[in-house]
Amino acid sequence: MRQYRTNGGPMAHGESGSGPKDPLVLLHAFPLNRRMWVPQVRALNGDRRVIAPDYPGFGRSPRPCAQPDVRLYAEGVREFLDSLHLERVALGGLSMGGYVAFACLRLFPERISALVLANTRPDPDPEEARETRRELARRVTEEGVEILPDLQMERLLSKRTIREKPEVVEDVRGMILESSPDGVVAALGAMRERPDSTDLLGEIEVPTLVVGGEEDAISSPEVMEAMAGKIPDSRYVTLPNAGHLSNLEAPEKFNAALAGFLARV
């Protein structure tokens, strides 16, 4: 585990593998950390370098020093790439990671050679969702991150995963509890205020994989398919029996889709 300082604070990361192709950088979901990408790092590190950072305030990265927006997270990713001397990367993001990936596309599209958008959406929060995030931030501030697993688990995982894969449930719970309250509150604010990225979709000029879970109630298959339809040179995959964390719930199918996509970029 290493740390590199960005405007948002030190950013810890894990990495594995090597190869001649552009490294793959994977951006994690809220309120997890880089450990969520372990199944992908293990499956793909034979073909290329795979890197997964922690946002400030998550995993092993210290809390952010201020209230960031998604652009600040993207600026942190750019500085992180600079620190590793990476000129171009394949960039992937799941859920909040997708929001940050959109911001990266605005800031430094010339450094992104391929894109993976998993269980995410381009549109901003409606007012009801914005209010929900405000209330959750208030509760985390007052009660701590310990309240999050019970509030988030049924949103993040499918009913089948919760029923049949207790090891996934416990792994997700553990990652949530590794988050700092400041990091969680900052991320909630950034997601709440994120801009509409719908107009950006038609301007994406790199090969793009859009992948989601058949039982995802946050980024539904309908939302994901519509998003993919607006992205030139995109491929859309829906994973059965998976919810919002499809890479953890259906890792073999997720890895197969990702490996097949990366083989051609």
Domains and CATH numbers, the chain: 2-262 (3.40.50.1820)
Rounded Cα gap, residues 263 and 260, in angstroms: 5
**DSSP-derived pairing of the beta strands 89-94 and 50-53:** unpaired
pLDDT tens digit at each of 265 positions of the chain: 343 344 445 678 999 999 999 999 999 999 999 999 999 999 998 889 999 999 999 998 887 766 789 999 999 999 999 999 999 999 999 999 999 999 999 999 999 999 999 999 999 999 999 999 999 999 999 999 999 999 999 999 999 999 999 999 999 999 999 999 999 999 999 999 999 999 999 999 999 999 999 999 999 999 999 999 999 999 999 999 999 999 999 999 999 999 999 999 9
Asked if residues 115 and 208 have their Cβ atoms less than 8 Å apart, the reply is: yes
pTM for the model: 0.94
Rounded Cα gap, residues 241 and 203, in angstroms: 32
Which residue type does 76 have? G
